[in-house]
Amino acid sequence: MNKRLEPEACVLYVIGTPIGNLGDLSPRARYVLKNVSAIACEDTRHSGQLLSSLEVRAPLFSFHRHNAKSRIPKLISLLKKGESIALISDAGLPGISDPGEELIAEARKSNHEVICIPGPCAATTALVSSGLPCDRFCFEGFLPSKGTARKDRLNNISNEPRTTVIYEAPHRLLKLLSELADLCGSERPLQVARELTKLHEEQIGPTIGAALKHFLINKPLGECTLVLGGAKPKVLEELSNSELLAKMKILIEEGLSASEAAKKVAQSSQHSKRFLYELLHKSFIPE
Ligand code: SAM
C-alpha cells in the first residue's frame, strides 16, 4: 500500500491511460488526475473526453512532439512553483512511441521527482498474450518508413534471437508483413494483436505467412501490434581449411576483397575473420 499522500507538490506524475477499454484506468491514476494542479496531454481534445468523464477540473496543457521544446520550460517552471503535474498521452504509457521522454529527462535534470503511475501499454499487452517467449524481448516501436534506415532495421530484426514487438499503422501492415516474410521466411512465428482491450480484440497468427494470408483477405483495420518470434541460432558449418579456402576464393572471384571474403565466411563458420584472412594470405605465398 502506498502510504504517500498523492499528488505531492513539485512532482511530475507519468500516468498510463487506457488503450481502448476505459475500465483499465486504475483508481490511483483516476485519483491523481482529479487532484493534480495541471495536466500535460498529447491532444487536449482527445484526452478531454476521458478527463471530463472523470470530472477533472485541472487546466490542460497540450504537449506533443511539435511544441515540446517551448512547453518543457513552462511545465518545469510550474513544478518549481510547487505545482504537481500529470503527463498523459492519447493512449497507453507516455514515452512509449508517444511524447514524454524529453519532459521526464528535463524534470529529472532539474531535480524534480518523477513518479510513474503504471497502466496499459500495447507492447507488453500484445507480448504477454502472444504465447511467444517473454523472458527476453526487444521493443522496436514504429520502424523508419523507408530507405536504408528501414532496410537496416528490418535486417537486424530478422536476425534478432529475442522476441520483438513492433508497432504499425493498419494501412502499412501488409507491406511490413511481406517484408518480414522475405527476410524471416513465412514460417517464422508471429502474432498480430489487433484492437487490444476493445470489443473486437483478436490475435492473428501463428506465423508471418498465416497473418499475411489473413490480411490479404481481411483488410487491416484498427490498431495493430506485431509480436515476432526470435531467429533460431545459426548452425555454424564445420569445414576443413581447404574447404574454407575454396569458399573464400570463390567470393574473391565474384569481386569481394580478401578481407570481405574472410569476413563473410567467418559469419557462417566457427572461425574468426583474422584466422581466415591469415589462411588466405598463406595460400598466396609460394612454397
Ligand atoms: N503509448 C502507447 C502504448 O503505451 O502502447 C503507444 C502509442 S503509439 C502512438 C500507437 C501504436 O500502439 C498503434 O499504432 C499500435 O501499433 C499500438 N496500439 C495502441 N493501442 C493498441 C491496441 N488497442 N491494440 C493493438 N495495438 C495498439
Same structural domain, 158 and 223: yes
Residue 236, ligand 1, Cβ within 6 A: no
* Mean pLDDT per 10-residue interval, the chain, length 287 residues: 85 98 96 96 92 93 94 97 97 96 97 98 98 98 97 97 98 98 97 98 98 98 98 83 93 93 87 92 74
What's the domain count of the chain? 3
Same structural domain, 115 and 141: no
In the reported structure, the alpha carbon of residue 194 is separated from the centroid of ligand 1 by a whole-number distance in angstroms of 10
Asked whether residue 28 is domain-assigned, the answer is yes
Asked whether residue 235 is domain-assigned, the answer is no
Q: In sequence order, which ranges of 100-217 are alpha helices (DSSP H)?
A: 101-109, 122-130, 147-159, 173-184, 208-217
Buried b (16+ CB within 10 A) or exposed e, 235-262: eeeebeeeebbebbeebeeeebebeebb
Alpha-carbon distance of 220 to 215, in angstroms, equals 6
pLDDT value for 234: 76
Same structural domain, 16 and 114: yes
CA angle centred on 46, ends 223 and 39, rounded to 5°: 120
Residue 91, ligand 1, Cβ within 6 A: yes
Q: Which residues does 194 contact at the CB level (< 8 Å), separation at least 6? A: 200, 201, 202, 203, 204, 220, 222, 223, 224
Same structural domain, 115 and 138: no
Residue 195, ligand 1, Cβ within 6 A: yes
Residue 223, ligand 1, Cβ within 6 A: yes
pLDDT value for 91: 97
Alpha-carbon distance of 287 to 281, in angstroms, equals 12
Asked whether residue 178 is domain-assigned, the answer is yes
Same structural domain, 53 and 83: yes
Asked whether residue 7 is domain-assigned, the answer is no
Asked whether residue 1 is domain-assigned, the answer is no
Q: Which domain holds residue 150?
A: 123-228
The closest residue, in CA terms, to atom 20 on ligand 1 is 19
Final residue before a domain boundary, out of 120, 145, 174: 120
Helix, strand or coil, per DSSP, at residue 159: helix
pLDDT value for 2: 60
Q: Are 50 and 15 in contact (CB under 8 A)?
A: no
Final residue before a domain boundary, out of 70, 95, 120: 120
Same structural domain, 128 and 108: no
Helix, strand or coil, per DSSP, at residue 16: coil
Alpha-carbon distance of 273 to 145, in angstroms, equals 34
Alpha-carbon distance of 176 to 228, in angstroms, equals 12
In the chain, DSSP finds a helix count (H) and a strand count (E) of 11, 10
pLDDT value for 1: 61
Asked whether residue 5 is domain-assigned, the answer is no
Atom of ligand 1 nearest to the CA of 169: 14
Same structural domain, 156 and 176: yes
Residue 225, ligand 1, Cβ within 6 A: yes
Same structural domain, 221 and 190: yes
Q: Are 39 and 7 in contact (CB under 8 A)?
A: no
Phi, psi dihedrals of residue 54, rounded to the nearest 5°: -95, 0
Q: What CATH number is given to the structural domain containing 39?
A: 3.40.1010.10
Same structural domain, 160 and 218: yes
Half-sphere exposure of 169 (CA within 13 A, CB side): 6
Same structural domain, 190 and 264: no
Asked whether residue 133 is domain-assigned, the answer is yes
Same structural domain, 106 and 144: no
Phi, psi dihedrals of residue 41, rounded to the nearest 5°: -130, 150
- How far is residue 39 CA from its own chain's centroid? 26
Asked whether residue 87 is domain-assigned, the answer is yes
Sheet containing 60-62: give its strands across: 60-62, 38-41, 85-88, 11-15, 113-117
Final residue before a domain boundary, out of 66, 98, 120: 120
Q: What CATH number is given to the structural domain containing 132?
A: 3.30.950.10
Same structural domain, 97 and 145: no
